[in-house]
């Protein structure tokens, strides 16, 4: 074998020449692409091939991020839901309180407006409880002797008469309702001025008008107001509305039942008329009454002497 052996492949250009050549080619390609968009089709083709591969490679990381975001959002939504439930409860309680306050304010406004001529004589009181006797039509208010209450004061609400004070304590008072058995209120019919006495029946929601002749002009639907002749209830306060009129010729008196206008089961506040104005009520002539009584006594004594 000869010491000199010729290479199988001929030697090519040097590395520097290759670098220079390919650099010039790259520069030429870039210039051509920049000026003439020569490689746009090539880029599109390469992008179409590489994009699915890139998305496939990014898929695990995207899934991990989305799972983390899901659990974070779920925890945040659970916390927000709990906070919103507490807020709804608070707002619900506040709304109910606001509704109650608005209702009571409107009722107090109606209480003053419906009885404007007694506004400077009354004192607003709150019903704190019913009477201990479940069969008695009575309520307890939070005003007593220390507030100027006294037995006999009339008690009204925004619609009419409720009753009158019958017992007074230092800080509370007992109010007997118009529906209490044998509790009476002098009334008159607004339509024609017929006077009567409204007497409680002891049953909830009913008032009777006893001893009314069958021929009396009283009809169903007639409004009964206080006549004011007793000096306790001022004249003109609504008391009841006639509900039943039974005129049986076999009996001397008609059976008349009325429904009270006011109702203590509808509101918490009432108004006590502390100083009813009785200046306009007629006053009896005391001297004339005494002279008449003296004549009756002297006449009776003379008759007895004559009889002897």
Residue 198: its pLDDT value, please? 92
* Tokens matching residue 154: 């009339």
Residues 216 and 233 in one domain: yes
The reply to whether 240 and 106 lie within a common domain is no
* 3 state DSSP class of 56: helix
Q: In this structure, is the dihedral angle defined by the CA atoms of residues 297, 300, 301 and 302, taken in order, positive or negative?
A: positive
* 61 and 129 in a common domain: no
The per-residue pLDDT for 296 is 66
Residue 243 falls inside a structural domain: yes
Considering the domain boundaries, does residue 8 fall inside one? Answer: no
188 in the same domain as 130: yes
Structural domain range at position 87: 14-114
Say if residues 193 and 180 touch (Cβ distance below 8 Å): no
3-class secondary-structure state, position 221: coil
Dihedral, CA atoms, 113, 125, 204, 184, nearest 10 degrees? -80
**Same domain, yes or no: 188 and 101:** no
- CATH number of the domain at 167, please: 2.40.10.340
Q: With a cut of 50, which residues of the chain have pLDDT below it?
A: 1, 114, 119, 278-279, 281-282, 284, 286
- Tell which of 87, 114, 141 closes a domain: 114
pLDDT digits (tens, 9 = 90+) for 55-110: 888 888 888 888 888 888 888 888 888 888 888 877 776 776 666 566 666 656 66
Provide the domain count of the chain.
Answer: 2
Give the end of a domain, one of 92, 114, 136.
114
Residues in the chain: 308
Residue burial 72-104, b: 16+ Cβ < 10 Å; e: rest: eeeeeeeeeeeeeeeeeeeeeeeeeeeeeeeee
Q: How far apart are CA 194 and CA 217, in angstroms?
A: 8
Boundary-marking domain end, from 86, 114, 142: 114
Domain assignment present for residue 247? The answer is yes
Q: With respect to residue 286, please indicate whether it lies within any of the assigned structural domains.
A: no
Residue 82 lies in a domain: yes
In whole angstroms, give the CA distance from residue 201 to residue 197. 12
Residue in the block written with tokens 């509790």: 183
Identify whether 134 is part of a domain. yes
Do 174 and 250 reside in the same domain of the chain?
A: yes
Please report the pLDDT score of residue 278 as a whole number: 46
Backbone φ and ψ for 44, nearest 5 degrees, come out as -65, -40
Q: Are residues 109 and 126 both part of a single domain?
A: no
- 223 with 93, same domain: the answer is no
Residue 138 β-bridge partners: 176
Angle at 248 between CA 245 and CA 251, to 5 degrees: 115
Statement to judge: residues 184 and 242 lie in one domain: yes
The pLDDT of residue 308 is 56
Do 127 and 102 belong together in one domain?
no
Task: Return the sign of the alpha-carbon dihedral for residues 289, 293, 294, 296.
Answer: positive
| Long-range contacts, 238-241 (Cβ 8 Å, 24+) | 238/159, 238/160, 238/161, 238/262, 239/160, 239/161, 239/178, 239/185, 239/187, 239/198, 239/207, 240/160, 240/178, 240/187, 240/198, 240/207
Place of tokens 């339509």: 191
Structure confidence by residue, pLDDT tens digits, 100-124:
566 666 656 665 554 555 545 678 8
Confidence at residue 40, expressed as pLDDT on a 0 to 100 scale:
76
141 and 269 within one domain: yes
Q: CA–CA separation, 145 vs 208, rounded Å?
A: 32
> Does some domain include residue 287?
no
Residue 86 belongs to a domain: yes
The model's pTM is: 0.55
């Amino acid at each position: 074998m000869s010491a000199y052996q010729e290479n199988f492949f001929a030697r090519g250009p040097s590395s520097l020449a290759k670098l220079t050549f390919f650099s010039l080619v790259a520069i030429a390609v870039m210039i051509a692409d920049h000026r003439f968009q020569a490689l746009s089709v090539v880029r599109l083709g390469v992008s179409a091939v590489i994009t699915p591969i890139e998305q496939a490679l990014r898929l695990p990381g995207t899934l991990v991020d989305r799972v983390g975001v899901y659990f974070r959002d779920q925890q945040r939504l659970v916390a927000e839901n709990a906070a919103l439930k507490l807020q709804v409860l608070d707002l619900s309680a506040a709304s109910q309180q606001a509704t109650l306050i608005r209702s009571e304010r409107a009722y107090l406004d109606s209480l003053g407006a419906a009885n404007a001529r007694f506004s400077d004589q009354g004192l607003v009181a709150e019903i704190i409880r019913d009477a201990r006797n479940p069969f008695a039509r009575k309520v307890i208010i939070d005003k007593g002797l220390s507030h100027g209450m006294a037995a006999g004061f009339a008690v009204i609400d925004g619609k009419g008469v409720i009753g009158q004070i019958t017992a007074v304590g230092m800080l509370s008072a007992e109010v007997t309702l118009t529906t209490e058995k044998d509790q009476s209120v002098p009334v008159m019919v607004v339509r024609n001025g017929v006077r009567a006495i409204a007497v409680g029946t002891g049953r909830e929601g009913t008032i009777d008008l006893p001893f009314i002749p069958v021929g009396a002009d009283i009809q169903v639907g007639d409004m009964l107001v206080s006549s004011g002749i007793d000096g306790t209830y001022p004249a003109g306060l609504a008391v009841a509305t006639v509900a039943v009129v039974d005129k049986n010729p076999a009996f001397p008196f008609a059976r008349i039942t009325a429904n009270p206008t006011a109702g203590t089961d509808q509101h918490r506040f009432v108004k006590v008329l502390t100083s009813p104005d009785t200046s306009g009520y007629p006053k009896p002539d005391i001297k004339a009454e005494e002279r008449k009584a003296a004549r009756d006594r002297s006449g009776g004594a003379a008759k007895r002497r004559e009889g002897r």
